[in-house]
Amino acid sequence: MSDRGSRGRQARIAVIGGDGIGPEVTAVAADVLAAAAHRHGLDLTLDRWDLSADRYLRDGVAITDAERDRLVRDYDAALLGALGDPRVPDHAHIRDILLGLRFHADLYVNFRPCKLLIPALSPLRDPDPTTDIVFFRENTEGLYTGLGGRFKAGTTEEVAVQESLNTYRGVERIVRAAFEHAAATGRGRVTLVDKANALVHEGALWRRVFAEVGAAFPDIAQDAMYVDAMAMDLVRRPQRYEVVVTSNLFGDILSDLGAQVTGGLGLAPSGNINPGVWALFEPVHGSAPDIAGQGIANPLAAVGCVALTLGYLEMDAAAADVEECIVASIRERVSTPDLGGSATTREVGEWMTARLRD
C-alpha cells in the first residue's frame, strides 16, 4: 500500500464495478483517473475488484471479512460504480458490501456536493449560478443502524419499531468535520438541519453539540433549520446554503433534492469517508439494470467521484482538471442522451481522456 504520508503523490485505489451500469461508468471513471494521473505525474495503482451480485449469486458470498480488511489496509480509497440487482431482491449483497465496508472502516462522513455546474440543467426557472452546497450526512448512526424489530409480523396486530441512535461522539465528529471543511475551503456558513421540535431528544443533542463545536469557529455564520422548512428552502433559494450538516435519514433525502436542483442524480457524486483513514466514492444514482449494456449510461457522476477521490488524496490540481472536463463535456454536448447529447458512455470517456492527455 502507498504510505498515507505520501498523499498528493501516489496512491493505490480499488475499482469496484458492481452491478447494472456500474461496470460501464466505472470503466470510464478509471480511464479518466489514469489520464489525470498521467497528466500530473501521479503514481496511481488501480486494481479491479469483483464485488457484485454476479459474484454473490455464483459463490454465495458477497465479500469476505479478509477482503474487507485488505481493502482498508492495502488501499487508500475505492471507486464503486453501483450496487443493486433484481435477482437479489432482499439486497443482501448490498448490505454485506456497502454497509459492511461503511461500518468496518467507520466511514462516518457521507460527503455529498451539489454544485450547479451548468445552470441550464437545473429544473428551477431562474437558478442562481453560484449555487454550491456540500452536505455532511452522518453515515453510521440515526435510523439506519437497524435497531428495532417487528412483533406479530404478518398479522393485523403487527407492530414495527425502528429506533434512531445518536451518540455524542457520532454527532460531534460529523459536526466538526462540517465546520473544518467550511474553514478549510473558505465557506462562510454552516447550517444544521434537524426536526428538534418533534424529535426532541436527538434534536437537543444535535443542537447542543452544534453550538459547542461552532463556538470554535466564530468567523463562520451558523444557523439551524427544521427539515421540512429546509426542503422548501432548497427549492426556493438553494444558493443561500454552503455547508449543511444533518442526520443519516435527513441527509439521505435532502442531498438527493439538492442533487436534482443542481442538475440531477446523473451528475451527483458522493464520498463515504473516515478522514485520514479510508474512503469509498460512489455515484448517488443507482445501478439502472434496465439500461445496462446499452451504452447510454451517463458516466459523469462516476467521473465526479474521480474528482472527489483526487481531492481526498490531496491531488488538487488533478481534481480541478477532472471537474473542468465534466463541465466541458456538457457544454460541448459530448454527453449521453439524458443530458441532450448523442454520445455513448464509452465515447464520453474517450473524449475526456483525450482532453486530459492533450
Domain borders along the chain are 1-113+264-358, 123-261
Helix (H), strand (E), coil (C) string for 282-316 = EECCCCCHHHCCCCCCCCHHHHHHHHHHHHHCCCH
* Cα–Cα dist 40/284, whole Å: 27
Report, as an integer, the average pLDDT of 91-113. 96
pTM to 2 decimals?
A: 0.94
Whether the predicted pLDDT of 199 surpasses 50: yes
pLDDT of residue 102: 95
Report how many helices (DSSP H) and strands (DSSP E) the chain contains, helices first: 12, 12
Whether the predicted pLDDT of 7 surpasses 80: no
Name the pLDDT band for 5 (thresholds 50, 70, 90).
Answer: very low
Domain 123-261, CATH homologous superfamily name and number: Isopropylmalate Dehydrogenase (3.40.718.10)
Whether the predicted pLDDT of 86 surpasses 80: yes
Whether the predicted pLDDT of 310 surpasses 90: yes
Cβ neighbour number for residue 143 with a 10 Å cutoff? 18
pLDDT of residue 9: 84
Whether the predicted pLDDT of 2 surpasses 80: no
40 CB burial (10 A radius; 0-12, 13-18, 19+): middle
Q: State pLDDT tens for residues 264-282.
A: 999 999 999 999 999 999 9
Asked if the domains at 1-113+264-358 and 123-261 fall in one CATH topology, the answer is: yes
Under CATH, which number does the domain 1-113+264-358 receive?
3.40.718.10
The residues carrying an active-site annotation are 144, 195, 228, 252, 256
Report, as an integer, the average pLDDT of 142-157. 95
Name the pLDDT band for 3 (thresholds 50, 70, 90).
Answer: very low
